[in-house]
Structure 1
Amino acid sequence: MMEPILWEWINALARWLHVVTAIAWIGSSFYFIHLDASLRRRAGAPAGTAGDAWQIHGGGFYHMTKYMVAPPQLPEELTWFKWESYATWLSGFFLMCVLYYRGADLFLIDQDVMALGPWQAVAISVAALVAGWVAYDLMCKSPLGRNDRALAAAGFVLLVATAWGMTKIFSGRGAMLQVGALMATMMACNVFMIIIPNQRKTVAALLRGETPDPSLGKKGKQRSLHNNYLTLPVVFLMLSNHYPLVSSTRYNWVMVALVLVVGTAIRHFFNSRHAGKPTPWWTWGVAAAGMLGCVWLSTMGPASGDTAAATPEKVGYAQVEEIVATRCSMCHAAQPVWDGIATPPRGVVLEGDGIRRHAEQIRLQAGFSSAMPPANITGITPQERAVLAAWSGGIK
């Protein structure tokens, strides 16, 4: 009896830690991109500086100066911004293990998509994270990496192709989380394997009395900028598992492409504003169009199933009640009969009047999308989903 309670608390605390560390990482990332963009060259500035910025916060004034490579002498104390990213990735991967890997048969696997065992799914997931980072890193280090726009286009293709591929392996919810986890892995590895090592090389050169290699800072800044533009799409994808119309509809992988464009447009707006450049108001039009595109794509039906079932002309409540009783009520009952489930998930009881009370949730989770039943463990058919999608709580 204590085991499910313990795992629920582990899940809750891991999620809390992950959210807190993510806030810290995103906040510092956004702040330094803003600081870098707002630097201004002024008369009398120290040699080798890119500019400075005056800021006020919390009742105090701050004078920030950036050196192009490094200062002539290192200060006695130097703050390194790295643990925010490390803690975010580690807590996120732990949460993925607790929820998606431990419950792979429910949350990661969909037998309608690909027949996998839990350990097969976990192995593919981990391998995809490693392979995705290696592919991205090689692109950055190749001649392609000398052209920021070409590199961005190649990275976009890599991520969208990965999203499409993951939807052919995992459940819709698992695929979206996998793509978000890949982006997060790329971002954390940028810090751990490129930005911090390059900064250490710079510090080591200064301690030896040598002039640091300017390319080290340039490479680090490129990866930092990538992290800045990936942040908003990562957050969206990590939240997508709570929204079935995003994660579990037919063209969820196209939504990934649109969200990448939307996130890039929004960050471009703020980065341009911080740099004092002409305000690119057009970016909000791009963002709005992209999100409207996501809304439209979400109407295309559930992710699972080879073909969309025809919409029934008439739907009676008796039909809905029968489908819910055979496909949902073994878990969503006052006394669930499914092994390992002691109480109805999220307190949703789909018996008697409970079906009408939860009509909207039923249609969203099992009619318009394939989020429920998880992994389609009860074998709901496309025709049954069509009935639930067509059903209105007002039908008697």
Structure 2
Amino acid sequence: MMDFAIFWDWLSFAVRWLHVITGIAWIGSSFYFVALDLGLRQRPGLPAGAFGEEWQVHGGGFYHIQKYLVAPAEMPEHLTWFKWESYATWLSGFAMLCVVYYAGADFFLIDPNVLNISAPVGILLSLATIGVGWIVYDLLCRSPLGKSDTGLMLVLYCVLVFIAWGLTHLFTGRAAFLHLGAITATIMSANVFMVIIPNQKIVVADLIAGRKPDPRYGKIAKQRSLHNNYLTLPVLFLMLSNHYPLAFGTQFNWVIASLVFIIGVLIRHYFNTVHARKGNPTWTWLGAAVLFMIIIWLSTVPKVLTGEPKTSAASAAAQVYIASAHFPAVRDTVLGRCSMCH
């Protein structure tokens, strides 16, 4: 009979793999449509209601794409929806959260030195932070602040910084980073499930009923889609960070996470600007590089800021193990095979 630990390890691997597959599908389609939208060209002679068009070549053929800012005059016979990539990514991500962090809450989720709580309480806190994160974001978007894209993004960034700081006072550093990524990814997926797709369905229903669609539904959906576009790269960093303790294993981990969001915005701003044919803002890469150097410094030189001694004497109990002839081999094994994840 298969050992349960082996089965569970393979289950964890399978869920991670599925999450990566679905994430690639979602991110790929998201990046493509943002690039397509920004690259649309207007010309005389476009069909009534068409905002712009784009000619593309790929895979040995040419594609002619036109975008209707609100909707075409009639409902097309065939309509392709892009939504399951988002749903599958979130569901597989939540499954991974359950398999790894909830099933192993005592090891991966909870740190008694941070907050001494039981596993069930930690899981409830985890679920609450994910849900509250979406509610706060959605309320801000629906508030009068939502009319200003720049103002809304600045406030949302401040909220994310506060969440990053708060999570590091609830969970392990590793779990804090993953939960910040999970909250952000939930916002992105909920944007699709709760706003973008429902708004598009309203427009489709109006077309079928012969009514003129309200353009505000498309405007709202586009704003949420733009948020998703800028949040993607920070989420990828946060999800990958669990393999790199240098990112989360410092008391400045919440600062590192906050800087990562700025780096992600800078990189996406570069690509969005290029796709829109509005220039080549290479300064964004310089800014991202400078911020990344600051992150490296924060991860390796925290004691300079805190005044802590560079080294501390080993305890009497630890000295017993250090004195063992096998200690160097064990140390090398742990550093080479375990430390990157644990």
Scaled by the length of structure 1, the TM-score of the pair is 0.81
Amino acid at match of 1:18: H
Q: How does 1:229-308 map to 2 (within 5 A)?
A: 229-301=230-302
- State the 1:358 CA deviation: 4.0
Q: Is this contact kept in 2: 1:251–1:300, CA < 8 A? A: no
Could you tell me how far apart the structure 2 residues matched to 1:80 and 1:161 are?
35
Relative distance call for 1:138 and 1:356 in structure 2 (3 A) is closer
Q: Is this contact kept in 1: 2:321–2:327, CA < 8 A? A: no
Aligned length: 337
Cα deviation, 1:283-326, whole Å, max 9, x if unaligned, reads 01110011011101001459xxxx774224999xx97773698x
Cα deviation, 1:344-378, whole Å, max 9, x if unaligned, reads xxxxxx9444235347549966xxxxx75xxxxxx
Q: Is this contact kept in 2: 1:251–1:298, CA < 8 A? A: yes
Given candidates 355, 360, 374, the residue that maps to 2:330 is 355
Q: Which position in structure 1 is the counterpart of 2:214?
A: 213
Q: Which position in structure 2 is the counterpart of 1:59?
A: 60
- State the 1:232 CA deviation: 0.2
Q: Which position in structure 1 is the counterpart of 2:203?
A: 202
Is residue 72 from structure 1 mapped to residue 73 from structure 2 by the alignment? yes
Q: How does 1:81-92 map to 2 (within 5 A)?
A: 81-92=82-93
Q: Which position in structure 1 is the counterpart of 2:99?
A: 98
Amino acid at match of 2:103: R
Q: Which position in structure 2 is the counterpart of 1:310?
A: 309
Q: Which position in structure 1 is the counterpart of 2:128?
A: 127
Could you tell me how far apart the structure 2 residues matched to 1:220 and 1:66 are?
15
Could you tell me how far apart the structure 2 residues matched to 1:244 and 1:13 are?
23
Relative distance call for 1:351 and 1:20 in structure 2 (3 A) is farther
Unaligned runs of 5+ in 1: 326-349, 366-370, 373-396
Could you tell me how far apart the structure 1 residues matched to 2:338 and 2:221 are?
47
Relative distance call for 1:207 and 1:226 in structure 2 (3 A) is same
Cα deviation, 1:49-76, whole Å, max 9, x if unaligned, reads 1100000000000000000100111111
- State the 1:281 CA deviation: 1.2
Q: Which position in structure 2 is the counterpart of 1:180?
A: 181
RMSD (Å), alpha carbons: 2.3
Relative distance call for 1:33 and 1:133 in structure 2 (3 A) is same
Could you tell me how far apart the structure 1 residues matched to 2:47 and 2:187 are?
35
Amino acid at match of 2:234: P
Amino acid at match of 1:322: Y
Could you tell me how far apart the structure 1 residues matched to 2:320 and 2:339 are?
16
Could you tell me how far apart the structure 1 residues matched to 2:175 and 2:332 are?
28
Q: Is this contact kept in 2: 1:245–1:364, CA < 8 A? A: no
Greater helix content: 2
Q: Is this contact kept in 1: 2:34–2:229, CA < 8 A? A: yes
Unaligned runs of 5+ in 2: none
Q: Is this contact kept in 2: 1:265–1:283, CA < 8 A? A: yes
Is residue 117 from structure 1 mapped to residue 118 from structure 2 by the alignment? yes
